Structures are given as structure tokens and as C-alpha cells.
Structure 1
Amino acid sequence: MISLYHPGTSLLHRIPAGLKLAGFALLALTLFFLPDAWESAATLLVLPVLGYGLAGLPARLLLTDLRRVLMLLVFLTVTQLIFLDPTAAATNTARVISIVLLAQVLTRTTKIESIIATAEQLFTPLRRFGANPAKIGLAVALVLTSVGQLAAVIRQVRDAQRSRGVRLAPWGWVVPTLVLSLKHADDVGDALTARGFEA
């Protein structure tokens, strides 16, 4: 699995995973109650920058993550403008981008093993209802690491297209990325089955 963890000694690195997950959930929920205004949109975009700074993460990581969400930013902006006025569209787009980048801060300051262990502890009471905390923890880890895997697949497709001199429409990378992502999902499923994990 691909880990997004970036070693460091910042306060965010030292905070327990459970506390960080709870704080992230509370902050994400709070962001949805901000009013639709240009000031709110600006605040929402500044929050991740502060998060990266508090975590002591290099500026290049922030720039890399911003490039990864660029297409999402464009897509959200265009679709929001179809149904909403510019102020509401800007606020909603900034809200989603802010949450995505704050999630990146979480995964870059927390080891995957800690997140898995926290998820297992959280869902242990559900064992009496037939839930398997270990499988839930594994699912959480797979979801988090799939972000890095998807970004790697997109880069692989774009690099392959550029090396062959292929000139496609801006969305020409979508189908190859979808095919490779499905293949990766099949490979992960086969690996889990081989190790005795069943749905």
C-alpha cells in the first residue's frame, strides 16, 4: 500500500490518531455551517495552508496536492456555477477543496498503522452485531491509500501519453485511468483473497 505519511516532529505529528480523526471530523462538519460569502471562501482556502504550516510540511507537498485537486477544482467550479450564484459556488467549491486538503494533512501526519488501529478500536463495540473491526480498519486504510494510488495512475497515464506524443482532449486521460484503476482494484482483491480475506 502507498502511505502518504511524511515523517516529522510537529505538534500535529505528535497528537494521537484518534484525537486527530475526531478533530478533523468536527472541523469538516463546522465548515459546512459557514455562510456563503467571499470571506468564507477565502477563509476556507487559507485553512489548509495553515494546516500544512502547523504540520511543518514542505511547500512542495502543498503544491503537489494542489496540482492533484486542480481538475476537481475546475469541475466543481463549473458545475456549481450552473446551479448557483458565483458567491455560493465559490464557497461550496472552497469548502470541498479545503476538506480534501485538510484530509491530506491528516494522512501526512498520521501513520496508516495508527489510523487502522484507531478504526479497529472505534468499531470494536460493533463486533457483537457481526462486524469485523479488523476488516473495517483495513477498508479505511485502503480508502486512504487509494488517493495516492489514483494520483500515481493519473501521472502514469499522462506521462505515457506525452512520451508517445499523443494529443488528446483535456479529458482524454479519464478512460485509461479508469481501466488501470479497475485493474488495480482487481489485483488488490486477488491479493486479499490469497491472504484469506473474504467479503
Structure 2
Amino acid sequence: MLTLLYPSESWLHRVPAGPKLTALPLLSVALLAFDSVAVSAGAGLAVGVLALSCGRGFALRALASLKPVAIFVVLVLAWGWIDGTLENGLRIALRLLTLVGAALLVTMSTRFDAMMEAVARPLRRLKIVDAARLAFVAMLVLRFVPAMIARLGALQDSWRARSSRRAGWRLVMPFMIGALDDADHVTDAIRARGGMPTDRAREDDTQR
């Protein structure tokens, strides 16, 4: 679940985690600020070019990871067509693909510990929180999202292979069981590595 980092190094791997993580919310704000299909399409094209610049294997891995998102894109476009707002549906679909694709580029090219440190560094100025622990939880959630999307896609494929009926609510229980099982495995792995990171030990050493 935590092995989203692409093994072959590219130029994007050498970019520090801080600027890449900062670029994600800036991209989100920019897409929301410009209410245009052309802008959304251009941003999506730029993300695709960035992926290709990191190598063919990197781009193919990113494209394969976007497969579960395609289901939501189809639903958004279908609803826009039925509702008579196809342009709005296209704009939403492009934004979704662009933002998820950009997040994939960051997670595929950045080590987990580098992302955690980039998040924890500004949080350490707030003395009321344990920055290392909060950053670890945030990065863990970031890693869990694509894993959960992939699990849902696998369940849907499995259902379609066995039945012609729509799965609907029937996938809720196996999805929840799988998510809880993944959570147990991650918890065991964290405990085996000494537990969650914390800044408390660092603060105690500083005080001494």
C-alpha cells in the first residue's frame, strides 16, 4: 500500500518535496479560479506532458493508476449529458483528472519520509501540535486514497466477471472489510518499526 514511489529516478524525483506539495493546492486554486474548459484541458495536458517527460514507464504507471478514476469521469459526463449541462460536466471531469494526475506525479516521485518532513517543517512552528505525528497521519491518508480507489475498482471488476447485474450497495461490506484489513496490516507494520514518529523526543533532548 505504501509502495507508490516509482523505482526509476527521473528529473521529477530530484525536485524537493516542498515545492511539489505546494504546487498541488496552487493548481487547485487556479483551476477553480478559471471557469473554462480550455484552461482545465490545458492543465490536464500539461500534467500529461510532465508525466511523459519522466519516461514512458512512469507515464504508463500513472495512466494505469488513473483507471479507477475513469469510472467517476464517465458518471460525471453522463450526468452532464442527461442534465443538459455537458460543458459543466466536461469541466468537472477534466479538473478531476488533472488534480488526481498531479497528485499521482507527486506521490510517484517523492519518498514518504521526504513528504512527511516537508509537511512537518512548517507545523513545528505551532507548539500545540506534534508536527511529526500529524504529518505522518496526513501522508498516510494521502497514500491510502489511491489504494482504496484501486480496491474499489478491483471489487467492481470481480463483480462484473460474475454477474450481469449492477453491484451497487453490495460492494459496501466487502469494501469496508478490505479497508479494515488494510488498516490492521498498516498498524502492525507501524508497530514493528517502533510506532508512529513524534517530535516529543526531540523536544526532550532540546530541553536537556
TM-score range, shorter chain: 0.7 to 0.9
CA contact 1:4–1:148 (8 Å) conserved in 2: no
Q: Is 1:153 paired with 2:151?
A: yes
CA distance in 2, matches of 1:52, 1:84: 33
Q: Is 1:95 paired with 2:95?
A: yes
Structure-1 residue corresponding to 2:64: 64
Q: SS of 1:32's equivalent?
A: helix
| 5+ residue gaps, structure 2 | 197-208
Q: SS of 1:173's equivalent?
A: helix
| 5+ residue gaps, structure 1 | none
Structure-2 residue corresponding to 1:2: 2
* Aligned equivalent of 1:140, options 138, 141, 146: 138
Name the CA shift for 1:112/1:84 in 2 (closer, same or farther; >3 Å): farther
Give aligned pairs, total. Answer: 193
Structure-2 residue corresponding to 1:21: 21
TM-score (normalised: structure 1)? 0.79
CA distance in 2, matches of 1:186, 1:83: 42
CA contact 1:55–1:105 (8 Å) conserved in 2: no
Q: SS of 2:72's equivalent?
A: helix
Shift of residue 139 of structure 1?
Answer: 0.8
CA contact 2:68–2:153 (8 Å) conserved in 1: no
Shift of residue 153 of structure 1?
Answer: 2.6
CA contact 1:2–1:148 (8 Å) conserved in 2: no
What are the within-5 Å matches in structure 2 for residues 25-174 of structure 1? 25-37=25-37, 39-56=38-55, 58=57, 59-79=59-79, 85-126=85-126, 128=127, 130-154=128-152, 156-158=154-156, 161=159, 165-171=162-168, 172-174=170-172
Deviations 1:33-63, CA, capped at 9 Å, x for gaps: 22333x2343243132112113225242133
Amino-acid identity (%): 24
Shift of residue 2 of structure 1?
Answer: 1.6
Paired AA for residue 21 in structure 2: L
CA contact 1:28–1:99 (8 Å) conserved in 2: yes
Alpha-carbon RMSD across the aligned residues, in angstroms, is 3.0
CA contact 1:8–1:109 (8 Å) conserved in 2: no
* Aligned equivalent of 1:181, options 158, 169, 179: 179
Deviations 1:116-166, CA, capped at 9 Å, x for gaps: 11111121111x2x2011111211221122034314533553565467x34
